Chains A and B, each alone.
Chain A
Amino acid sequence: MRVSLPGLYIALGVVLAGLIHVVAVLTLPMLAPRDAHARLAALGPANTMIQLPAAAPGQQVMPMMAPDVRYAVCRYDLSNGPVRLRAEIADELWLVAFYTPLGENYYAVIGADMKQPVIDLIIATKDQTVAEVGVDAPEAFDNVVVVSSPVVEGIALIRAPLAGPSRGAEAERALKATYCGPHKSSSPDPSGP
């Protein structure tokens, strides 16, 4: 059968356009070369806390960064085990947000909601068990929150919104004291008995 009806081509065109639209929308997040994870990976290794330079003209790690927020980031990689994140909350405005490489904010700790000014977290995948920590350090474990990461590689981002003018240096000092690194559950605590 010979196809010569223009209507058929229009119908085919619409169906094709729809398919291409769907494929483009679904694949674009994976293909975006300058997504946040790629930008942060250029700053340094995984599993360390890296302070981002204060946003200034021509000096922005990510577009549309807030000029009155100071940031510290830990690009975590859980393939060698869970990762520990500790931060002393200098200000109740602080926010600690956890992201997948695609920028999905899957979990957030809000400074104002904390009962105590210290954040102590273990980031682990669903398969990784951190239960033995409780045996090793029972007195500390009560305050430790386990964040179940849906991804092996992700991002933890601390935001320190400035509570006023010329508070930048203070926020940067407080961010410097935050920690991110591998969580060694089996090795004994050197400071312990």
Chain B
Amino acid sequence: MDTNRLTSALPNSPLLLAPTQSTAWREEEASHSMRSLAYFVGTFVVALMLGIGSAWYMIERGSTLTTTKVGPWNGWISEGNPSADPYTRAHVARSGRLPLTSTVARYFVARTDNAGRSLRSDCEYLIEGFPLNARWWSLAVYDEYGGLIANSSQRYSFNSEEAIRRADGSFRINLSRNARPENWLPSGTDPNRSLMLVLRVYGSRDTDISGIGQIPNDRLPKIERIRCE
């Protein structure tokens, strides 16, 4: 069917081998085996890219098998769990972190706002949080590599003991480069930074049958973009 297209996409290496090896065979036979070899090498290269690429994606970003996605928040379901699937295990080993198992703590990572736009340091965000039924929680901001962002007030997070809350337990955190009232989470001076928010919830009081802490979907903070520079 599309043999021609396949042939043209093959690497040139078989041609380099041809003069030395073809002497032993008749021209025609040699060209056939060369073509087979080229097909094989081409198939192998494509398979290598597909195999490594899909593995990288499912380890780095996760899939519906390994993560839960609620709005902008992503969480690895069995992170840190000894009986976790191979993707989760590889993800944890690659990250260099030591996450607590999901029966002790839950982690949620957001790289976008609620509208799906990437979090950037040249924009200002309002994070609207709701009471979480847990022993302790903390919302921290990082650069895209998981590093804390330097700022003059040395504020890198707000936790359940620090955030100024309203009477109903809800709270608002302003994520911006310039100082803001209420809870101000600074995103540093560099305007060209991608941001990552991490919500860690220790000792969730609502658990499922296997003891994994449950956070109702509507309790995860909403991230709203206010303005960009």
Contact = CB atoms under 8 A, between A and B. Distances in A.
A57 interface: yes
Contacts of A35: 93-94, 96
Given A68-B138, A104-B84, A162 B161 contact: yes
Given A13-B50, A19-B51, A32-B94, A64 B142 contact: yes
Interface in B33-57: 35-36, 39-40, 42-44, 46-48, 50-52, 54-56
A13 B147 CA distance: 39
B30 interface: no
A66 B160 CA distance: 13
A106 B92 CA distance: 14
Interface residues of A, number: 64
Nearest to A27: B90
B2 interface: yes
Contact of B82 (A16, A26, A106): A106
B58 A25 contact: yes
B58 A67 contact: no
B207 interface: no
Interface stretch (B67-75, B171-179, B198-206, B215-223): B198-206
Interface in A97-122: 97, 99-100, 102-106, 108, 110, 112
A102 B91 CA distance: 10
Contact of A102 (B42, B93, B135): B93
Interface string B128-149: 0000000110101010011111
Interface residues of chain B: helix, strand, loop or mixed (majority): mixed
Contacts of A95: 100, 104-105, 202
Contact of B146 (A9, A20, A63, A68): A63
B168 interface: no
Nearest to B146: A63
Contacts of B2: 6
A12 B88 CA distance: 28
B101 interface: yes
Given A25-B58, A108-B101, A17 B92 contact: no
A103 B94 CA distance: 10
A138 interface: no
A97 B93 contact: no
A118 B2 CA distance: 72
A157 B87 CA distance: 23
A105 B97 contact: no
B116 interface: no
Contacts of A110: 104, 203
A66 B200 CA distance: 9
A188 interface: no
Nearest to B55: A24
A137 interface: no
Contacts of B42: 9
Interface in A1-32: 2-4, 6, 9-10, 12-21, 23-26, 28-30, 32
Interface of B: 1-3, 6, 32, 35-36, 39-40, 42-44, 46-48, 50-52, 54-56, 58-59, 80-82, 84, 86-87, 89-90, 92-101, 104-105, 135-136, 138, 140, 142, 145-150, 154, 156-157, 159, 161-162, 198, 200, 202-203
Given A28-B94, A34-B96, 20 more contacts: A3-B39, A6-B1, A9-B39, A24-B55, A25-B55, A25-B86, A29-B93, A36-B98, A39-B96, A58-B147, A64-B97, A64-B146, A103-B99, A104-B80, A105-B80, A105-B98, A108-B100, A108-B104, A150-B82, A161-B202
